[in-house]
Amino acid sequence: MKAQDLVMPYFVVHGKGLKKPILSMPGSYRFSVDQLVFEVRQASKLGIKSILLFGIPKKKDLLGSEAYAEDGIVSRAIRAVKKALPKLQVIADVCLCEYTSHGHCGVIKSPNKAEINLPKTLELYAAEAVVYARAGADIVAPSGMMKGQVAAIREALNINGFKKVKIMGYSAKYASAFYGPFRDAADSAPAFGDRTGYQMNPASGYKEVLKEVAADIKEGADIVMVKPALAYLDVIREVKRKFNKPLAAYNVSGEYAMLKAAAAKGWIDEAKITVEIINAIRRAGADIIITYQAKEVAKIINARK
């Protein structure tokens, strides 16, 4: 495993001089843009070459307007990071859940029902991706698991002159219970219902997952992803065996939080277990590992040189 194969996720908020601890994710923070730049510089010095950005807006609304606003928080963060570190690869999450008042990943058809207006949602995803590309994102990562999202984004990027911007599809994203701490961090828990209508059933077999991944590739995904990672190592292996595409695996917030909680109790050796987990994900077939422990893993890798 190399540090350059790791992706460090960050949560960015409006304000200045802010580094707010995320209680359910010990050691993780919400950063204002200025503090994010400082933090990313430190990660870069460790050999980390890619980051993934999630934004928390000033205000939320039914259409998640700040997600695709030119001066939205993620767009500001992208511009600041690329100005400070032009060679760093910036991946921007494309979704609406952090920005909508109801917490769902798309536009809903009616109040208090988790039914998605797919055409409108795809329209806004495409707009969001173009805004991030214009700000300087190298990769956009649609995470809503909406049918046709990759195709809609690829078309919009191409039309607007961003053919070189890559798409990392959240191709096999499960409706997992492992996302709880992330939803605290991003303030994105659904206000009603759940996301089983558009994310995959954790009990789904390989036939369904391979169908989803194949659809993303056909629509133009440059990188495919399995999320979560640790409980889905078999899925990572199956996707890697079937498709000749760069494969990312997301070691998610719940996996991170459980490890941190056990380590805080002194029940486990955090460093050793962290290495075991990352090696397992890599061995299963992941080319890219998105993990909140990217900096910690990079330090361990560097210490072994």
Phi, psi of 123 (to 5 degrees): -60, -45
Beta strand residue intervals within the chain, DSSP E: 6-13, 19-21, 29-32, 50-56, 89-94, 139-142, 166-173, 223-227, 247-251, 288-291
Active site residue 147: no
The answer, yes or no, to whether the previous bond of 57 is cis (omega within 30 of 0) is no
Residues 6+ apart with CB under 8 A from 157: 129, 130, 133, 140, 163, 165, 167
From the list 49, 166, 227, 240, the catalytic residue is 227
The crossing angle, in degrees rounded to 10, of helices 118-135 and 149-159 is 40
Find the DSSP H helices in 53-192: 73-84, 118-135, 149-159, 180-186
Q: What b/e sequence results for 199-235 when a residue is b if at least 16 CB atoms lie within 10 Å of its CB, and e otherwise?
A: bbeeeeeeeebbebbebbbebbbbbbbbbbbbebbeb
Nearest to 235 by CA among 212, 259, 258: 212
Active site residue 173: yes
Catalytic residue positions, numbered? 173, 227
